Amino acid sequence: MNNTLKKSIQEAASLLQKSRFTTAFTGAGISVESGIPPFRGEEGLWSKYDPRYLEISFFLSRPEESWQVIKQIFYDFFGKAAPNRAHLVLAEMERRGMLHRIITQNIDNLHQEAGNTRVYEFHGNSMKLVCLACSREFPYGKINLDHLPPRCPDCQGLLKPDFIFFGEAIPQEPLAAAYDAADKSDVFLIIGSTGEVMPANQIPPLAKQNGAKIIEINPEESNYTRRITDIFLQGKAGEVMSMLAETLFSTPLDDN
């Protein structure tokens, strides 16, 4: 670890130890080391898939085409991913009373799989499917995706993944939890987000305005870095969070 990063990690750990309310704000970057590519950037999913398949109007008018792409991205691919060290350190922070809330833009369920319980999903979750006719919900594993689009076992209505498509509103509960976190957090820990996705990108600047210190982890500078970040820990989420954990907890976490 170079000396600048070492010093920044010590400063970040000290802020986190003193904080009375800490929120982690996570984006696609935290799951990259779990094998899930982000949407943006050279290796991003948008270089391979057309984002219009995830527009709600396209889905409703051409569900079969939309579902073909959704199945490839989210179920053939996301379904195989497991939490990485960054997710696991956040879970340990929650257990130790050092993390009070996660606001995530991710839809991959990896924070919950790692053991975090106070997770608010800004963009929903891909692990549940919802019937657009009768509103019943089904775990995705219970629905056969061989025939697309999948239909509700009860009423034959169209099933939609329970994540937010482009053109849909953010659900009330995570929105309220995010504004509340921006209001009361002493520290906001941003991990792996470009800060380009509206309206989620408005939450960290609001936290800053309300007095929170901003710690950011990302291999690249984001829209936040020069505007609001107080401590920038440049690097991959899993690697940086492992280093942070060693300083933050008196004993290092077990490897797994």
Give the footprint of ligand NAD on this chain (CB under 6 A).
Answer: 27-33, 36, 38-40, 44, 105-108, 123, 192-194, 196-197, 217-220, 222, 236-237
Closer to ligand NAD by CB, 51 or 141: give it: 51
Please provide the DSSP assignment of 144-205 as one string. Answer: --SSSS-B-TTT-PBEEEEEPPBTPPPPHHHHHHHHHHHHH-SEEEEES--S-STTGGGHHH
Catalytic residue among 87, 100, 111, 123: 123
Closer to ligand NAD by CB, 106 or 242: give it: 106
Closer to ligand NAD by CB, 32 or 88: give it: 32
CB of 194 to ligand NAD, least distance (A): 4
Active site annotation includes 100: no
CB of 143 to ligand NAD, least distance (A): 19
Cα distance between residue 182 and residue 179, in whole Å: 5
CB of 220 to ligand NAD, least distance (A): 4
Cα distance between residue 134 and residue 19, in whole Å: 44
CB of 161 to ligand NAD, least distance (A): 12
Structure tokens at 7: 């010093």
Burial 172-202 (b: 16+ CB within 10 A, else e): eebbebbeebbebbbbbbbbbbbbebeebbe
Q: Using CB atoms, what's the residue nearest to ligand NAD?
A: 29
Catalytic center residues: 123
